[in-house]
């Protein structure tokens, strides 16, 4: 007899394997569950996600209960990780854990998995309120931001973050019935279900956007008429810019992501011209009053929503990203009229992709200066160099923020 919930666990195993061994994103890896009923597919993603939130601590538990360390990518270790994560993160009952774990190692070390699980479940599980991050990430962030920020990041990864909504205008925001407002046109909800059921979704009164991700568009001067959103899809910042009354050109090299942007514009009734092109070989016919470059990056700032980024962002990926960002900055700079603005941003916690990239750009380009950012959100104090650096210890009591970097540069000549 097949235990209830086994297909979801099988899919969770495939997702975890795709992320850890093949470096896939959770979104791509979750394709492994696409043939399952929606509830099972959601459970598979939740189990894999809860596992990635606390992988180093789960491994320490497993290693403490085995005589010989299990190979890192062995099926036995993967299955044990998934089972323990369900206990800790989802509160699954012991009998259900065991019944759905053992068939996953059929033909393999079933007795070993049974024994280790039994031992650990009898001992009782720690809660892991501040699970460790991968060692390489902790070392890197410790060097860049210090131990307090690493501790805050540990606390942050334990939970799924709150849901932030951005509104097109004050009327739409004031009609929204609930939530905490941490900035104009923003509400924060403790909501983890489907967003389509929230009031105003169908009418396009708001869109989902982490508060940190809404900061760059807030730096574009109100007087800028023509604005280019140079890496625009799926369009959170395009919608902010269009809602603020700018004439927006939204460029992205990904046709499928631009199609999502077009859907978002349709739902919200906002307008922008869309262009499918690679920013590295596209040129506008005339310069813009402002360019927003929300560059592709390691995305390590989004670790609360996408814990897998911490496993994908190896040093070579980060340096490759920084190289691409420098090329994109150089191209975008050429499209800004003298006196115009270039706002740069990345959802990354790596200084190489933020501070260091901007310092290198400014050294090479004396025709640009930093315009000091105003304090847009209480608790996110602008850096003395003028940029905004959002770290995991900011606004922690209110639910925290994604890690983020944004700088407003002005072309002086
Ligand atoms: C961080 S995401 C942008 C998120 C978007 N600004 C928002 O707020 O919804 C980066 C985007 O850059 C696009 N991209 C990456 N390399 C590009 C290039 N060379 N030219 C144009 N777009 C590029 C990717 O397709 C991706 O959609």
Return the ligand 1 atom nearest residue 235 CA: 9
User: Can you read off the two tokens belonging to residue 30?
Assistant: 């979750």
Considering only CA atoms, which residue is closest to atom 12 of ligand 1?
231
Ligand 1 centroid vs 289 CA: distance in angstroms? 20
Ligand 1 centroid vs 32 CA: distance in angstroms? 25
Q: Which of 210, 231, 240 to mutate to test the pocket of ligand 1 (most atoms within 8 A of CB)?
A: 231
Q: What is the pLDDT of residues 224-254, one digit of tens each?
A: 999 999 999 999 999 999 999 999 999 999 9
Q: What percent of the chain has pLDDT over 90?
A: 93
Whether residue 236 has its Cβ less than 6 Å from ligand 1? yes
Q: What is the pLDDT of residues 136-153, one digit of tens each?
A: 999 999 999 999 999 999
The answer to whether residue 125 scores a pLDDT higher than 90 is: no
Ligand 1 centroid vs 404 CA: distance in angstroms? 15
pTM of the predicted structure, to 2 decimals: 0.95
Q: What is the pLDDT of residues 358-413, one digit of tens each?
A: 999 999 999 999 999 999 999 999 999 999 999 999 999 999 999 999 999 999 98
Cβ of 129: how many Cβ atoms within 10 Å? 9
Whether residue 346 has its Cβ less than 6 Å from ligand 1? no
> Closest Cα partner for 413 from 330, 329, 337?
337
Whether residue 253 has its Cβ less than 6 Å from ligand 1? yes
CA dist list (Å): 319 to 178, 196, 295, 315: 42, 38, 14, 6
Q: Across residues 68-78, what is the average pLDDT? A: 93
Residue tagged 């568009």 (tokens):
217
pLDDT score recorded for residue 186? 98
- Which residue numbers are catalytic? 347
- The three-class DSSP label of residue 105 is helix
Tell me, rounded to whole angstroms, the distance of Cα 278 from its chain centroid: 23
Ligand 1 centroid vs 252 CA: distance in angstroms? 6
Whether residue 400 has its Cβ less than 6 Å from ligand 1? no
> Closest Cα partner for 235 from 247, 222, 251, 223?
251
Whether residue 237 has its Cβ less than 6 Å from ligand 1? yes
Q: What is the pLDDT of residues 4-58, one digit of tens each?
A: 899 999 999 999 999 999 999 999 999 888 899 999 999 999 999 999 999 999 9
Question: In sequence order, what DSSP letters do the residues of 346-371 get, joined into one string?
Answer: ES---GGGTHHHHHHHHHH-TTEEEE
Q: Which of 277, 296, 321, 346 to mutate to test the pocket of ligand 1 (most atoms within 8 A of CB)?
A: 296
Q: What is the pLDDT of residues 332-358, one digit of tens each?
A: 999 999 999 999 999 999 999 999 999
Whether residue 354 has its Cβ less than 6 Å from ligand 1? no
User: Can you read off the two tokens belonging to residue 145?
Assistant: 């931001």
Q: What is the pLDDT of residues 297-309, one digit of tens each?
A: 999 999 999 999 9
CA distance linking residue 236 with residue 32, whole number of Å = 28
Whether residue 275 has its Cβ less than 6 Å from ligand 1? no
Ligand 1 centroid vs 324 CA: distance in angstroms? 12
pLDDT score recorded for residue 121? 95
CA distance linking residue 179 with residue 163, whole number of Å = 10
Whether residue 402 has its Cβ less than 6 Å from ligand 1? no
Phi-psi region of 278 (alpha: psi -120 to 50; beta: other; left: phi over 0): beta
The answer to whether residue 1 scores a pLDDT higher than 70 is: no
The answer to whether residue 108 scores a pLDDT higher than 80 is: yes
Return the ligand 1 atom nearest residue 258 CA: 27
Whether residue 259 has its Cβ less than 6 Å from ligand 1? no
The pLDDT confidence band at residue 2, using thresholds 50, 70 and 90, is confident
Q: Which of 241, 252, 263 to mutate to test the pocket of ligand 1 (most atoms within 8 A of CB)?
A: 252
Whether residue 279 has its Cβ less than 6 Å from ligand 1? yes
Going by the DSSP 8-state scheme, the letter that residue 269 receives in this structure is: T
Q: Which are the contacts of 72, defined by CB distance < 8 A and separation ≥ 6? A: none
Higher local confidence (pLDDT), 193 or 412: 412
Considering only CA atoms, which residue is closest to atom 25 of ligand 1?
254
Q: What percent of the chain has pLDDT over 70?
A: 100
Residue tagged 């900061």 (tokens):
215
pLDDT score recorded for residue 146? 98
pLDDT score recorded for residue 107? 87
């Amino acid at each position: 007899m097949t235990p209830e919930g086994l297909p979801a666990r099988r899919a969770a195993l495939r997702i975890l394997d795709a992320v850890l061994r093949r470096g896939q994103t959770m979104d791509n890896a979750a394709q492994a569950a696409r043939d399952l009923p929606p509830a099972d597919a959601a459970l598979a993603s939740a189990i894999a996600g809860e596992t990635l939130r606390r992988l180093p601590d789960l491994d320490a538990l497993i290693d403490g209960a085995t005589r010989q360390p299990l190979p890192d990518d062995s099926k036995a270790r993967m299955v044990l990780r998934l089972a323990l994560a369900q206990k800790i993160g989802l509160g699954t009952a012991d009998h259900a854990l065991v019944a759905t774990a053992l068939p996953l190692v059929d033909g393999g070390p079933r007795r070993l998995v049974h024994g280790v699980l039994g031992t650990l479940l009898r001992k009782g599980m720690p809660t892991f309120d501040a699970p460790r991050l991968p060692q390489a990430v902790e070392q890197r962030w410790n060097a860049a931001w210090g131990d307090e920020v690493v501790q805050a990041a540990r606390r942050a990864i334990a939970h799924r973050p709150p849901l932030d909504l951005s509104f097109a205008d004050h009327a739409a925001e004031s009609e929204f019935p609930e939530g905490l407002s941490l900035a104009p046109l923003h509400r924060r909800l403790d909501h983890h279900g489907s967003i389509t059921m929230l009031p105003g979704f169908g009418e396009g009164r708001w869109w989902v956007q982490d508060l940190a991700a809404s900061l760059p568009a807030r730096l574009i001067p109100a007087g800028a008429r023509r604005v280019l959103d140079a890496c625009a899809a799926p369009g959170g910042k395009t919608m902010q810019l269009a809602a603020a009354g700018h004439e927006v050109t939204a460029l992205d090299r990904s046709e499928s992501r631009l199609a999502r942007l077009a859907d978002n514009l349709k739902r919200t009734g906002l307008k922008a011209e869309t262009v499918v092109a690679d920013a590295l070989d596209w040129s506008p016919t005339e310069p813009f009053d402002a360019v927003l470059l929300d560059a592709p990056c390691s995305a390590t700032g989004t670790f609360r929503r996408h814990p897998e980024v911490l496993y994908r962002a190896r040093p070579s990926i980060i340096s490759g990203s920084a190289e691409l960002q420098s090329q994109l900055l150089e191209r975008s700079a050429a499209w800004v009229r003298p006196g115009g603005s270039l706002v740069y941003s990345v959802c990354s916690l790596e200084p190489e992709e933020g501070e260091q990239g901007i310092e290198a750009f400014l050294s090479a380009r004396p025709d640009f200066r930093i315009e000091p950012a105003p304090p847009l959100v209480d608790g996110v104090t602008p850096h003395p160099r003028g940029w905004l650096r959002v770290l995991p210890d900011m606004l922690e009591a209110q639910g925290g923020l994604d890690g983020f970097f944004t700088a407003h540069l002005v072309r002086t000549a």
